[in-house]
Structure 1
Amino acid sequence: MMHRILYLLLLIASSVHAQLTLKGKVVDEFDNPLPYVNVSLQNTNFGTTTDDDGRFFLKTKKYRGTLEVSFVGFETQTIRVNQKTKYLNIVLKEESDQLDEVVVISKPKKRLKKKENPAYKILKEVWKRKRKLGLNKVSHYQYKKHTAIEIGLNNLDTLFLKSIFKKNYDREIKQVRYDNDGINYYIPVYLNENVTKVYGDNTRAIVREDIEAEKEEGLGAQGFVFDRMSNTFQNVDIFRNNITLLQKSFVSPISSNGFATYDYVLYDSIVENKKKLYNIYFFPRRDGDLAFQGNMWIADGNYSIKKIKMRVHPSINLNFVRALSFEKEFEVKNDSIYLPTRNAYDGDFTLVDKNESNKGLTIKKTVTFENYLLDHPKPAAFYSQKIEKIRPDQFQRDSTYWTEKGTIAPKETYNLIQTVKKKKKIKNITGFINTIANGYFNTGLGIQFGPFWTVFANNQVEGFRTKLGFRTFKTKDDRFRMNGHVAYGFKDKKFKYGLEGRYLLSYQPRIAVGLGYQNDIEQLGSTLLNTTQLLGNSFGTTALFNRGDNFFLSKVHKIAANFDYQIKLNLHVGFNLTHSRIRSASPAHFSTSYLDNQGKLQSNIVDVSSDVYLSYTPGRFVYGLGVERRFGRNIFPTFVLNYRRGYKGPFNGTHSYHKIQFKYAQPILLGELGLLDATIEGGKTFGEVPVALLNPVPANQSFSLVKNTFALLNYYDFVTDTYAATHLEHHFNGFIFNRIPLLKKLKLRSLLTFRAAYGSISDANRAINDGVVNRAGTANILYNTPSKMYYEYGVGIENIGYGNLRFLRIDAIWRSNYTPPNGSFINPTPKFAIRIGIRPGL
């Protein structure tokens, strides 16, 4: 019995001693240690990974087995091991893998410190070199760029397609591509391709781009919306610390401050064309931060970006945006220069929410780069010359060119667009999209009606007002455009109207002329500076709901002409001539009369004036080649300088005066802190003029927010002939609310506002206006001025709404201590107010 017990104890002891303990190191063929290599015992749950030095330690109850050592990009090694195996030196051989391998990596649950994260060492090298690599390392360069922009309807089911193709469904369905989900379908409706030659001179920081060829197909002619949506994808420069997208500043994944925004995971390294590439995944630290999610491949040695895939994180709510993704590829040349080879941008837009079952709009932009030629300079004068597109058909090429060159989009896509653009249902859908975007209804007869948001209004003079606007529109590049309106007031029972025509005299240089006629009511106290607008369009007469009573309206009978000359892109000089007859629209409450040189009261104002203006908007994205152009929603400064001269005598002009005004607006991106939108304006009037020609500080008695106006002033609260004003709005873009646990789920964004005005009025102008009474015999305006700075400040919440429809904004506004003179105003001036703003997404 005892020997059996002793034998059993020996067996137990031997089994315990039989546990397998393995140590070792994994290196590549160049004896470089490989971190994060998978080391496991086959057919067991025992495994580990190597540390930063490529070392591993593995202990298991097994006493023999097959050790498997694997790493993406290397050949897998299998080694028979047993109790006698003590220390292993394992060499992995590289194999040729493709970058497109599908790998799913999740955000790490525990955030590593910088020095503990192996990705940090690699990114530090990227930061050091990112401004020293690429085309900046050569003195001169040239290449060819081929761009394709495709817009289509996505997430379509067979029922929808059958309603389009009907009897031809079985034949046409063979041309229709599947959507990204591989289940539903996608139909292209618009396609534009162009080929451009690019020449760069780094010694003088000059880039010349010459369009070589262009072609367009589809339903893009009804309006500018497809152009605007296409231009959502401007060049996304990942090498800048911050990337501007949809007027918001996103932190680049290779920003030198990226670790404050992103979590990084070094997943693996692979080999492509005998070059080792590190694969790093990145995730926003906080949901809702303006950041991307994706991965990038970084070349070993020179630490340049070989390829990057990234998308806007789903937690970020952008109006009408369901998804945005970006992909960039680079060629690493001579171990020191990276050259872009391909960019691919993809946007998915929906009207209501991000639900994957909803139909939406897809925008695809693909750019390929080829024929690089480095350090072959051309004459210096060559780089300063430019071949600009000035006519819509200027660079159209015949089919022979495109057959030889080839197109990015396949021939089947063009054929499908030619088919579907004739379908009534597709026309209705694209027409609806254009209507929502620009407010005009297309009749198909060369005339559009709108905008629909000015159809109804209300004020004390006209009562309920209805307005029908229209414009001619054949294509977005019309050389001639006419627009006008007819309005009717149900209280004064009078029709008002206006008509304006503009014509592009010359494409190069770009010269446009305009002529307008108006007989309507205007709120002259709602804007300070206007240059090219010939017809009055003040919000004071277009608002449906207003605070208090407003009788400070003027009847304006005007003829105006405009001449505009483009010196260069975004730099314009112009000249206006205006003849206006102005009188009060409500003499019983508001008088525009003045005292003449003999002290007699005059009610007839005839303003004969000329304006010379200079407008400069560097960096503004401009599209459209017709007389009416559109501007992208990118970040750019604006500077406007205007000089007006009033003439007494010619054409019965009643006043001689000089007026100079300026405005400077500068949006400032502050990285993750958001966007500061700053405006400064000022002006001075020389000469004696009536109230209708002075400068009221722009007030706003509507319940909506209007840019560069004061929400807690009444019209004509402040009347000046010398003024200065500033308007500051800081949009935090989620920087604050995303850090508050309960609020971050609501996807709201905060903002701060500050507005101030300072001004004065001369004794001479006060003398001819002060004391003028209305028909009721009461003092009209006492000409109070903001001689002590008047200001308003507020806090707001924006991005309010549901799903993708988040264009509402609510501000709480306070003002400085200000007491209007007794008897000079009809309405009390509020000290606090809540105002609502609406801001479209694209």
Structure 2
Amino acid sequence: MKLKITALLLFTSLLLNAQLTLRGTVVDEYDNPLPFVNIYIKGTTEGTTTDDEGRFAFRTKKNRGTLEISFVGFQTQTIKVTRKTKYLNIVLKEGTDVLEEVIVVTKPKNRLKKKENPAYRILKEIWKRKRKNGVDLVDHYQYKRHKTIEIGLNNLDTAFIQSIFKDQYKQAIKEIQYDSDGINYYIPIYLSEQVSKIYGNNKSDKEREDIIAEKAEGLGAQGFVFDRMAMTFQNIDVFRNNITLLRKSFVSPLSTDGFATYDYVLYDSVVNNDKKLYNIYFFPIRDQDLAFKGNFWVADKDFTIKKLRMQVVKGANLNFVRGLTFQKEFDVRNDSIYIPTKNVYEGDFTFLDKNDANKGLTIKKTINYEDYLLDKPLPDTFYDFQPQKIRPDQYYKSDEYWKNEQKEDNNDTYKLITSVKSKKRIKKITGFINTISSGYINIGPLNLQLGPFWTALANNEVEGLRTRIGFRTFKTKDDRFRLAGHVAYGFKDKEFKYGLEGKYLLSYQPRIAVSAAYQKDVEQLGSSLFNTTQLLGNTFGSTALFSRGNNFFLSSVEKYATNFDYSIHNNLRIGFNLSHSTIRSASPENFSVSYRENPGDANFVSSVTDVASDMYISFTPGRFVYGLGVEQRYGRNVFPTIVVNYRHGYKGVLNGTHDYDKIQIKYNQPILLGKFGLLDTTVEGGKTFGEVPVSLMNVIPANQSFSLVPNTFSLLNFYDFVTDTYVSTHLEHHFNGFILNRIPLVRKLNLRSLLTFRAAYGTVSDANRALNDGVVNTAGIQNIQYNAPNKVYYEYGFGFENIGYGNLRFLRVDAIWRSDYNAPANSIAVPTPKFAIRIGIKPGL
């Protein structure tokens, strides 16, 4: 085994030496690091710029050449480099070079008015042309796209490398890649590639993608977290005024309103292939703004972007993000059409803080574009057909295919991943990342996970301290069958509760999934209004560890359920549920769900048998979907959600006690408002036809915990409002620093402000009031008065988010007030507060 690893690493070394990797630092004569120094291979566009610490690192296909180092106010240097060149310490001397035809400025201490800034003239020309250039200018286009996603551990020292490779350390250290700083090391743990052909028709505004081949290797496939992090790098369109990233709106450096966010500095100009290029740098005016810093090269006369490099400023304080870098390269055809040739998106993620000395996780997404064919139309029916990936191995290709398609260093990376993915310490690190993101812990080779860990402990008045152990089968994210369940125990009622659910993907195309479940558990039916595909109850009202007041309003639910789900498209699903539920009070001496079998009856029935069917349709245009198995995960990109559900109850079927119809509609739309932030809007409504007890009515969702829960009311008690017809709305506007970043001293705290407003209105029919009137608990006390918010009830407030330290800034604190209303005189309920402080947790990504 040792001989195999040594041979593998020797072979990897030979392949790595086939290209030149240059790294080093640039300082002035006083040993001060120089940021934004231009470093290029002479006669090419291959190169980079130094970072804030004067460091640089890049690769070139050439194995020798002349390195040119230039910076305004300093003498340009040239250095010959070969494969023997390891690390460069470059000292630039001050000079008096003056560029002709271009007025060059450094970043001023006092801002220049934009008309006095020489970069303004160039930006104006870019703005005029930016909507006219690109493949959108032609009627039809085709191109080939090669997408690579690589994930690795960065900033590793020699001690860490030695702990992994042990006896093979001396040989391995020669083969492992350097990190971007040229000092520490980097180990890849996952690599995927996809080759596609893209066909576009601008006349009909349709685009078709045909995947040709896919390949993946490594540890990232064990969970959804790496997919979600990789999708952080969507197709960043820098020509739009605002760029959506992590559900936040960043101002583009090419925005027509860019001078309100950026300082622009025209540094110099060069001649490349007989074309004059201007080099413009940009810096955020306020370091805490959601903005970038970097530079771009602009071609003279046609003012097209040749190359752009930008990175998110650290002051933006994105959770778990130490750095995000974006690089784009374009080719210009006929002096009017620019086409992308390469995009490189790179993210550096850390858990605790942004300290450059800490180990982190690198995710790099590289997209190469080639074989452009413009203005060659295909039949309209060709663009209408959209091929879909339906199986994990659908686009498998042989090794012979990839020998021709892979970029020059991917084979090396695959072999290195094969060597390290079985290392125990590497597996522990990736397992920890998956656990933090999903809440589940892998159990050895059993293909079993325990979790989620945040539901392990809870407390309520009925069960006392509640412990819960959940599990699910999990081999890969593309599992066709999945079994999940839980066992819970209450130390006060001394009873076990449990649930089990099995899911199976019947068909990949069309995508059809079926599931069946059984549970016997305690639920808080007054904490949610809407549920379609979740068969096992999982309401937060019975799983909170800390709550205000008393919560005896719990129901004991025994439920059998099955689901049939049909995906017409990733973003359009229809489904059908059948369920049989027996509902009783979990604390009959305090809380009753009894009802009169008929209005006017003297006797009450203490349990409800609900036999019902649900038909639903879910439409989520623009949503990203991860995984091809029976369970899928969804991206956190900004997309609308529309859900319609129709429910019918059957009396007499399998002892069903009630015949009724219920229709519910829910609409959610996050709205990006540019630099002003994001408005998250939810509106829902419903109506129940027929006479039903309180267990089957629509309870306005209350929240008696001290944490914030979406689409609930924090200053209501459970069952304060019960309706058979309702409408509600929840509005949250997140300013993303737009206000606080403009206040001196306060902006150093990196806080972000938000406003909230929630409202509900509903009614109860006379027939339903009569059915539930006079219901008492076993002590003979009428503890529930079935009020409805027939006068609009609302809550409003403001808050601060991005609270924490370093990269752990996921806390949010809200101050909330409510409108006046007459709270029900429930014997066991505590008065509802008129004002409260609540805490929310939002991990990010």
Partners in 2 of 1:738 and 1:685 — Cα distance?
Answer: 48
Please say if residues 510 and 567 of structure 2, whose CA atoms lie closer than 8 Å, have aligned partners that are also in contact: yes
Instruction: Report Cα offsets for 1:786-823 as digits up to 9, x if no partner.
Output: 11100000110100000000000000100001121334
Q: Give the alignment's TM-score, normalised by structure 1.
A: 0.88
**Does the aligned pair in 1 maintain the 2:199–2:208 contact within 8 Å?**
yes
> 2:693 maps to what in 1?
690
Equivalent residue runs for 1:107-256 within 5 Å: 107-256=107-256
Residues 421-820 of structure 1 mapped to structure 2, 5 A cutoff: 421-444=421-444, 445-597=446-598, 599=601, 600-820=603-823
Q: CA separation in 2, counterparts of 1:107 and 1:545?
A: 52
Runs of 5+ in structure 2 lacking a partner? 1-72, 75-94
Match among 822, 825, 830 for residue 825 of structure 2: 822
Listed as ranges, the matches of 1:344-355 within 5 Å are 344-355=344-355
SS at match of 1:745: helix
Shift of residue 677, structure 1, vs aligned partner: 0.3
Q: Distance in 1 between matches of 2:530 and 2:836?
A: 26
Name the CA distance, whole Å, in 1 between partners of 2:340 and 2:668: 34
Q: Tell me how many residue pairs correspond in the alignment.
A: 749
Within a 5 Å distance, the mapping from 1:45-444 to structure 2 comes to: 70=97, 107-407=107-407, 409-444=409-444
SS in 1 for 2:426: helix
The change in CA–CA distance for 1:523 and 1:395 in structure 2 (over 3 A counts) is same
CA–CA distance in structure 2, aligned partners of residues 71 and 207 of structure 1? 48
Deviation at 1:824, TM superposition (A): 5.7
Secondary structure of 1:149's counterpart equals strand
Equivalents in 1 of 2:823, 2:451: separation in Å? 39
Contact 1:302 1:335 in 2 (8 A): yes
Partners of 2:317 and 2:789 in 1: how far apart?
41
Q: Do 1:574 and 1:613's aligned partners in 2 also have CA atoms closer than 8 Å?
A: yes
3-state secondary structure, aligned to 1:655? coil
Q: Distance in 1 between matches of 2:408 and 2:701?
A: 51
AA aligned to 2:740 is F
Q: Which residue of structure 1 aligns with residue 88 of structure 2?
A: none
- Distance in 2, matches of 1:702 and 1:408, equals 56
Give the unaligned 5+ runs of structure 1: 1-46, 49-67, 75-90, 93-102
Distance 1:410 1:723 in 2: 57
Checking the alignment, whether the CA contact within 8 Å between 1:799 and 1:806 is kept in structure 2 is yes
Instruction: Check conservation: 1:148, 1:408, Cα contact below 8 A.
Output: no
Q: Distance in 1 between matches of 2:409 and 2:790?
A: 64
Equivalent residue letter for 1:343: N
Question: In structure 2, what is the Cα distance between the partners aligned to 1:381 and 1:71?
Answer: 59
Q: 1:408 deviation in Å?
A: 5.9
How far the C-alpha of 1:269 sits from its partner, in A, is: 1.6
> Is the 2:526–2:700 contact (alpha carbons within 8 Å) kept by the matching residues of 1?
yes
What's the offset of the Cα at 1:356?
Answer: 0.8
Note if contact 1:781-1:825 (Cα within 8 Å) is conserved in structure 2. no
State the one-letter code of the partner of 1:560: A
- 1:109-134 per-position Cα deviation (integer Å, ceiling 9, x unaligned): 12111211111111111111111111
Q: Is the 8 A contact 1:648 1:656 kept in 2?
A: yes
Scaled by the length of structure 2, the TM-score of the pair is 0.87
Match of 2:132, SS state, is coil
Alpha-carbon distance in structure 2 between the residues aligned to 1:424 and 1:823: 57
Q: Report which of the two structures shows the higher radius of gyration computed on alpha carbons.
A: 1
Could you tell me how far apart the structure 2 residues matched to 1:823 and 1:180 are?
Answer: 64
- 2:53 match: none
SS, match of residue 259 in structure 2: helix
> In 2, Cα distance between the equivalents of 1:108 and 1:255?
21
- 1:452 partner letter: F
Query: C-alpha separation between the residues in 1 aligned to 2:114 and 2:357?
Result: 41
Q: Secondary structure of the residue that 2:659 maps to in structure 1?
A: strand
Do the aligned partners of residues 821 and 413 (structure 1) sit closer, same or farther apart at CA in structure 2, a change above 3 Å counting?
Answer: closer
1:604 CA drift (Å):
2.6
Cα offset for 1:230? 1.1
Per the alignment, residue 23 of structure 2 pairs with none
- For residues 299-336 of structure 1, the C-alpha deviation after alignment (integer angstroms, 9 at most, x for no partner) is 11221111100000121100000011000000000001
**What letter is aligned with 1:394?**
Q
Kept in 1: contact 2:784–2:824 (CA 8 A): no
- Amino acid paired to 1:829: T
Mark the CA change 1:388 to 1:409 in structure 2 (over 3 Å): closer, same or farther: farther
Check conservation: 2:582, 2:610, Cα contact below 8 A.
yes
Give the equivalent residue in structure 1 for 2:10. Answer: none
Given residue 287 of structure 1, which amino acid in structure 2 is its aligned partner?
D
2:840 corresponds, among 834, 837, 840, to 837
Superposition deviation, residue 69 in structure 1: 8.1
**Which residue number in structure 2 is paired with residue 87 of structure 1?**
none
Rate the CA distance shift 1:207–1:521 in 2: closer, same or farther, 3 A. Answer: same
* CA deviation map 1:672-729 (0-9, x unaligned): 1100000000000000000000001000000000000000000000000000000000
* Cα gap change, 1:636 to 1:408, in 2 (>3 Å): farther
The residue aligned with 2:86 is none
The separation in 1 between residues aligned to 2:240 and 2:352, in whole angstroms, is 33
Question: Aligned letter for 1:293?
Answer: K
State the AA in 1 paired with 2:394.
Q
Contact kept in structure 2, 1:221 and 1:474, CA below 8 Å? no
Q: Is the 8 A contact 1:730 1:753 kept in 2?
A: yes
Task: Please tell me whether the aligned partners of residues 148 and 409 of structure 1 are also in contact (alpha carbons under 8 angstroms).
Answer: no
Identity of aligned residues (%): 69
Judge conservation of contact 1:213–1:395 (CA < 8 Å) in 2.
yes
**Superposed displacement of residue 409, structure 1:** 4.1
**In structure 2, what is the Cα distance between the partners aligned to 1:457 and 1:834?**
21
Report Cα offsets for 1:259-283 as digits up to 9, x if no partner: 1111111112211111111111111
Q: Quick one: distance in 2 between partners of 1:821 and 1:840? A: 37
Kindly provide the amino acid, as one letter, of the partner of residue 565 in structure 2: D
Counterpart CA distance in 2 for 1:424 and 1:596 is: 63
CA–CA separation in structure 2 for the residues paired with 1:823 and 1:668: 40
TM-aligned CA deviation for residue 108 of structure 1: 2.5
Q: Which moved more, 1:461-470 or 1:308-317?
A: 308-317
Paired residue for 2:65?
A: none
CA contact (8 A) 1:118 1:266 kept: yes
Contact 1:275 1:299 (8 Å CA) reproduced: yes
Are residues 142 and 176 of structure 1, via their aligned partners in 2, closer, same or farther at CA, if it must alter by over 3 Å?
Answer: same
Q: Is the 8 A contact 2:177 2:185 kept in 1?
A: yes
Q: Deviations over 1:622-651 (max 9, x none)?
A: 111101101111000000000000000110
SS at match of 1:499: strand
Task: Give the counterpart letter for 1:399 in structure 2.
Answer: D
